[in-house]
Amino acid sequence: MARSKVHPIHRFESWQVWPGSYDNPPTDGNFPCRSNPGLEISRSTAIASMGSCFAREIRTVLLNEGYGYITEESHHPAAVHASAAWERTYNSFSIRQIFEYTFEEWQPDLRWWLTPKTGKVQDPYRRIILYESIEEAENDFEQHKVHSRRALEKAEVLILTLGLTEVWEDTVDGSVICLPSGPYPNEGGDMTRYRFKVSRYKENLANLERVHSIMATHNPDCKILVTVSPVHLWATFRKDADVITASCNSKSTLRAAADEFTARHDNVFYFPAYEMATIYRPMTNQILFADGRECFHVHKKTVRFIMQQFFKFFSSENHKPS
């Protein structure tokens, strides 16, 4: 009787095989990657980034290493997280809205929150940005759109860091706020028009495709580099899942959307920051999570490792961050 072998003979590259399995080399401190990922950057490359908390880590390292990181609105406190005062954008809906208000006519039904006790004007769509008056808020936002457009049109490489799938949606027009945070909800502002939901694969992929479509019109030569943030959820608004399960669902959904998005476009690339932090670092018995109260963040050593791999993957100058 004929028999088939359990492991048929195939020709794999080392990076295609699980480290340390059978006769494949074990982990050596370098994340396995193909020799030519298709994207190359140098210190003269104009790089923009936006996204979750991890986008700020990328920004900091690129600036410290002297890369051509785009910094618009450097006077604005919300610009410390990204290339313009986009603040932190944890979900793909908020990212999509940035491109829509930058290049198109984006007018949500309710544009500003007025805090019930302190009388501040709060921007619901850029996390916690506060003003003394509607006039001040609208003037600043008009200036912000100019800086936002400048950053996105100038970018040769745009890094998008995807964070989570939990969103708060306006039931009137479908606009999505980044998070119900800041003085407006804390002072008892009316949140009844917003509904919490867990966004799904198709929605997140559609948001990424919308971003790509807008960039194809306004900066078609820009390359897009997508990552999934390795920073886990601090808390979940879900009532049907614990925080660890909810965080895993968020990352898995976004990872699947990023994979399909990358496969569809020649100018889109994926950087496995999430996999480096959550799988490869534990494989090498290295620390993953930060110490202290924000232990859902990744440790500074893990950030350093990820950025070392970033430069190994993409930098034409092939160096390690200092």
Query: What are the residue boundaries of the structural domains of the chain, listed by start?
Result: 39-105+144-174+199-314
Residue 182 in tokens: 């800041």
Query: CA distances (Å), 229 to each of 71, 164, 272, in order?
Result: 21, 8, 9
User: Rounded to an integer, what distance in angstroms lies between the CA atom of residue 148 and that of residue 85?
Assistant: 8
* End-to-end CA separation in angstroms for the chain: 62
pTM: 0.93
Which residues of the chain are under the pLDDT cut of 50?
A: none
**Residue 1: what pLDDT?**
53
Residue 204 in tokens: 């997140």
Q: What's CA 145's distance to the chain center, in Å? A: 20
CB 58 within 8 A of CB 163: no
Query: CA distances (Å), 5 to each of 9, 14, 21, 121, 278, in order?
Result: 9, 21, 18, 69, 33
User: Rounded to an integer, what distance in angstroms lies between the CA atom of residue 53 and that of residue 228?
Assistant: 11
Pick the CATH number of 39-105+144-174+199-314 from 3.90.550.10, 3.40.50.720, 1.10.260.40, 3.40.50.1110: 3.40.50.1110
- The pLDDT mean for the chain works out to 92
**Residue 56: what pLDDT?**
85
Element containing residue 48 per DSSP (H, E): strand 47-51
User: Rounded to an integer, what distance in angstroms lies between the CA atom of residue 128 and that of residue 126?
Assistant: 6
Query: CA distances (Å), 105 to each of 71, 97, 204, 212, in order?
Result: 24, 10, 21, 17
61-106 per-position pLDDT tens digit:
999 999 999 999 989 988 888 999 999 898 999 999 999 999 999 9
**Residue 108: what pLDDT?**
96
- Residue 142: other Cβ atoms inside 10 A: 9
Q: What's CA 39's distance to the chain center, in Å? A: 18
Residue 315 in tokens: 């930098």
**Residue 8: what pLDDT?**
65
**Residue 10: what pLDDT?**
75
What ranges make up the beta strands (E) of 115-243?
121-122, 130-131, 157-162, 166-170, 176-177, 194-198, 223-228
* β-pair type (166-170, 194-198): antiparallel
- Residue 117: other Cβ atoms inside 10 A: 11
